[in-house]
Copies of this chain bind each other. A is one copy, B any other.
Amino acid sequence: MQSFELDKSDILKIRKALEEDDSALKALVAEYHPSEIAILFEGLPQESRERIISILPAEVASEVISEMDAEFHPEKLLENLHPERRSEIVEELDYDDATDIISQLPEEQQQEILEELDEEDASNIRSLLKYDDDTAGGLMNTQVIKISMKLMKKDALELVIQQSEEMEEFYTINVIDDKNVLRGIVSLKDIIKARNNVRIEEIIKTDFVFVKADTDQEEVARLISQYNLTSIPVVDDNMHLLGRITFDDVIDVMEEENTEDILKISGVSEDEELAGNWKEAVKSRLPWLILNLGTAFLAASVIRYFDSSIARMGILAGYMVMIAGMGGNAATQALAVTVRRISLNDLTDNQAYRTVLKEFTVGLINGASIGFVIFLFAVFYDGNPMLGLVIFVAMTGNLIIAGMAGSSIPLMLKRVGIDPAIASSIIITTFTDVFGFLLLLGLASKLLL
Contact = CB atoms under 8 A, between A and B. Distances in A.
Interface of A: 2, 4, 8, 11, 33, 35, 39, 42-43, 69, 71, 157, 161, 164, 169-171, 187-189, 192-193, 209-210, 223-228, 230, 247-248, 250-252, 254-255, 258-259, 261-263, 265-268, 272, 274-275, 277-278, 281-282, 285-286, 288-290, 292-293, 295-297, 299-301, 303-304, 307-308, 310-312, 314-315, 317-322, 324-326, 328-330, 332-333, 335-337, 339-341, 344-346, 348-351, 358-359, 361-362, 365-366, 369-370, 373-374, 377, 425-426, 429, 433, 437
Contacts of A248: 225, 228, 247
Contacts of A285: 330, 333, 362, 366
Nearest to A300: B318
Contact of A358 (B188, B277, B295, B433): B277
Nearest to A211: B4
A288 B325 contact: no
A411 to B, nearest CB: 14
A225 B250 CA distance: 10
B362 A282 contact: yes
A314 B325 contact: no
Contacts of A263: 336-337, 340
B188 A267 contact: no
B289 A330 contact: yes
Majority-rule SS of A interface residues:
helix
A230 B210 CA distance: 20
A223 B329 contact: no
Of listed A255, A281, A361, residue having the most chain B CB within 10 A: A281
Given A265-B262, A268-B337, A366-B289, A300 B275 contact: no
A339 B262 contact: yes
A34 B360 CA distance: 35
Contacts of A224: 251
A261 B259 contact: no
B317 A320 contact: yes
A157 to B, nearest CB: 7
B8 A272 contact: no
Contacts of A374: 293
Contacts of A209: 4
A348 B193 contact: no
A151 to B, nearest CB: 16
A346 B296 contact: no
Given A8-B349, A227-B35, A300-B318, A329 B292 contact: yes
Given A300-B321, A333-B267, A278 B326 contact: no
Contacts of A322: 293, 296-297, 299-300
Contacts of A266: 265, 332-333, 335-336, 425
A326 B289 contact: yes
B268 A333 contact: yes
